[in-house]
Amino acid sequence: MSGTRETTVALAARGYPIRIGRGLLGDAAQWRTALRGRHALIVSNTTIAPLYQPLLEPGLADLCWSSIALPDGERHKTLDNVARIWDALAALGASRDACIIALGGGVVGDMAGFAAACWMRGIDFVQMPTTLLAMVDSAVGGKTGIDHAAGKNLIGAFHQPRLVLSDLVTLDTLPVREYRAGLAEVVKIGALGDAAFFTWLEQHAAALSARDDAALTHAIAHACACKAGVVARDETEQGERALLNFGHTFAHALETVTGYDTLLHGEAVAIGMRLAARLSAHLGHATAADAERLSALLAALGLPIVPPPGLDAEALLAAMRLDKKNRGGRLRLILWRGVGTAFIAGDVDAADVRATWTTPG
Ligand code: NAD
Ligand code: GLY
């Protein structure tokens, strides 16, 4: 398997490898050792299962396995669908050593991981991400969960996978908007903590937009290594891990207010990072030039940087108040000192946030 890159999430007894390369799904030797028992359940969705599940099936021939294809879309990231996964485990007779294989993007991965966290108080799962966003973010680090009408990802658990297997083959069929949305999370990694990587992204924006394999492999491996480092130091987000939410409080508010189907998550994150950078510049933490550099990179990668018109600033602010990072009723945001340096701001004035939403451009 030439060109395969591997990095590790170093978590004492629960550490695991992240493998990135072409052709990994069809090469059972790459993933079978992560399955410890006799039962396996593939969790996917109706779009992805027909494309990529056949690659996995020969590798499962000697096991007792089944599969479930959930409906496609963020609005299906619900408890009802997690219950369907549990029903499938029950029908399989899945015991405590069963393994769930999450084959899909972040929606599938978050639900499959949450189902695994709860079944018999926690069984194994493997992440086989098929979107760029999932490869660089959601499949790594053990955050699992579902949405609630009151906000995104409000219900969930920390539950680490046994393996993350990112097969670049799957990105060949990923729609361009979804692909670009994944690039937003790659930019986030450079913006929040790695100025050299940010510069590398500026230099390779064209290659990344063209899905060049070498550039893509480097970007995924580097982003995963950075995220793995953060997760190893702060698995349950007591401190540093919150930095991975750069732009996300604005993004979650946008997703809540627009109803989850106007913007893709990564698109909302792109807009959210730009707003966080503008707020940081407005408060004197970062320079306007750095905020402009971030906007320029996002735009070069084909990402939106301005919120959809006509949104209600009070509704957006109300959604931000529900964010899991807030403490004691105060707005806690990830702000910016410039390229490569994000920080946690514990007591942001609501008036400044409101002004960020209402300032045009
Ligand atoms: P997604 O899972 O909805 O996938 C995007 C779309 O692409 C879907 O329609 C999907 O069916 C399709 N698709 C996926 N792979 C494909 C492929 N290879 N070819 C063709 N089509 C394909 O969205 P996403 O962007 O992957 O994930 C977003 C979700 O991830 C959100 O729910 C977000 O909250 C969550 N998330 C979680 C974390 C975490 O740490 N757990 C981090 C970031 C985001
Ligand atoms: N996506 C943010 C985190 O994993 O912490």
Render pLDDT for 122-178 as a digit per residue (tens, 0 to 9).
999 999 999 999 999 999 999 999 998 877 788 999 999 999 999 999 999 999 999
**pLDDT at residue 329 is higher than 70:** no
Residue 320 to residue 299: CA distance in whole angstroms: 25
* The predicted structure's pLDDT at residue 254: 94
Q: Which numbered ligand comes closest to the C-alpha of 265?
A: 1
Asked whether the beta carbons of 83 and 118 are under 8 A apart, the reply is no
Nearest residue (CA) to ligand 2, atom 3: 244
**pLDDT at residue 272 is higher than 60:** yes
Q: Is 32 exposed, middle or buried (0-12, 13-18, 19+ CB in 10 A)?
A: middle
| Architecture of the 176-358 domain | Up-down Bundle (1.20)
Asked whether 181 lines ligand 1 (CB < 6 A), one says yes
* The predicted structure's pLDDT at residue 55: 98
Nearest residue (CA) to ligand 1, atom 35: 106
pLDDT digit string (tens) for 93-121? Answer: 999 999 999 999 999 999 999 999 999 99
Provide the CATH topology of domain 5-173. Rossmann fold (3.40.50)
Model confidence at 331, in pLDDT bands (50, 70, 90)?
A: confident
* The predicted structure's pLDDT at residue 149: 82
Model confidence at 304, in pLDDT bands (50, 70, 90)?
A: very high
**pLDDT at residue 302 is higher than 80:** yes
Residue range 253-275: average pLDDT? 92
Residue range 288-316: average pLDDT? 96
Asked whether 143 lines ligand 2 (CB < 6 A), one says yes
The one catalytic residue in 152, 248, 274, 293 is 248
Q: Is 292 labeled as catalytic in the residue annotation?
A: no
Task: For a ligand 1 pocket test, name from 47, 108, 131 the mutation site with the most ligand atoms within 8 angstroms of its C-beta.
Answer: 131
Q: Which residues of 173-209 are buried (b: 16+ CB within 10 A; e: fewer)?
A: ebeeebbbbbbbbbbbbbbbbbeebbebbbebbeebb
Residue linked to tokens 């924006």? 205
* The predicted structure's pLDDT at residue 1: 45
Residue type for 24, please? L
Q: Is 255 labeled as catalytic in the residue annotation?
A: no
Nearest residue (CA) to ligand 1, atom 28: 106
* The predicted structure's pLDDT at residue 12: 87
Asked whether 170 lines ligand 1 (CB < 6 A), one says yes
Distance 134 CA to ligand 1 centre (A): 6
* The predicted structure's pLDDT at residue 328: 66
Residue 227 to residue 166: CA distance in whole angstroms: 15
Q: Is 265 labeled as catalytic in the residue annotation?
A: yes
The one catalytic residue in 74, 178, 185, 267 is 185
Asked whether the beta carbons of 224 and 137 are under 8 A apart, the reply is no
Distance 230 CA to ligand 2 centre (A): 9
Task: For a ligand 2 pocket test, name from 189, 233, 244 the mutation site with the most ligand atoms within 8 angstroms of its C-beta.
Answer: 244
The one catalytic residue in 148, 211, 241, 282 is 241
Asked whether 72 lines ligand 1 (CB < 6 A), one says yes
Model confidence at 51, in pLDDT bands (50, 70, 90)?
A: very high
* The predicted structure's pLDDT at residue 2: 52
**Mean pLDDT computed over every residue of the chain:** 95
Asked whether 141 lines ligand 2 (CB < 6 A), one says yes
Mean pLDDT lowest for which of 90-104, 293-307, 320-334? 320-334
Domain boundaries, the chain: 5-173, 176-358
Q: Does the model's pTM come out above 0.85?
A: yes
Q: Is 121 labeled as catalytic in the residue annotation?
A: yes
Q: Is 227 labeled as catalytic in the residue annotation?
A: yes
